[in-house]
Amino acid sequence: MNRLEKAIEIEKILGSFYPHPPIPLDHSNPFTLLVAVLLSAQTTDVRVNLVTPDLFADAKTPQDMKKLSEKEIYGFIKTCGLAPRKAKAIYQLSRILIEEHGGEVPADFESLEALPGVGHKTASVVMAQSFGIPAFPVDTHIHRLATRWGLTNGKSVEKTEVDLKKIFPREKWNDLHLQIIFFGREHCPALRHDLSGCPICSWAATAKRIREEAKKNAPASRKK
């Protein structure tokens, strides 16, 4: 089975599991989504959703966020990973949005990726989930599953994004990004996963990959 054939079957399975995938980060507008996605780097969505209600109660627009100091922003997000760096980025990008974009989040990749703390993955999430523009945000989790399923050679997240965009329909990218994330969390974890019993890995992963992961997960006494 080639990559395109796998993609067709995987799309069907993911669609049956998650026909209407929700956006996991709580937000009320493009700005709050941008901030939430920025905060989610090296932090779980659950943790982000715990800290953002208080932050967004005080500041859900760039104008309100700029009224806070970096120290005050840090106070809201201090339990997130890389909090000092993120507080600085949130303050600076709020200022830039006001000064250069009329206080609005721009709906183009170049402008988004020019903002402090915003990389291609974050920009892709905002474009897809706030503006409905087809994008395929690839993080390490999607990269891991795509590699496990034989949809990419696994060299980098950048290469994986290119490979996935080639084999999945453009109009499905936004949903697939979320569907793969949820499937990974609920059915295809990184550690101690039995590929032979997985709804996708059992047939999409190579026999070699299944053997390698089974050996890695085996108790030490059985690896000898």
Residues annotated catalytic, as ranges: 121, 139
Which residues, 6+ apart, have CB-to-CB distance to 207 below 8 Å?
Answer: none
With b for 16 or more beta-carbon neighbours within 10 A and e for fewer, the 157-178 pattern comes to beebbebbeebbeeebbbbbbb
Q: Which amino acid is at 36?
A: A
Nearest Cα to Cα of residue 104 among 112, 134, 57: 112
DSSP letters of 68-133? Answer: S-HHHHHHHHTTSTTHHHHHHHHHHHHHHHHHHHTTS--SSHHHHHTSTT--HHHHHHHHHHHH--
Cα(154)–Cα(142) distance, rounded to whole angstroms? 11
* Helix, strand counts (H, E) of the chain: 13, 0
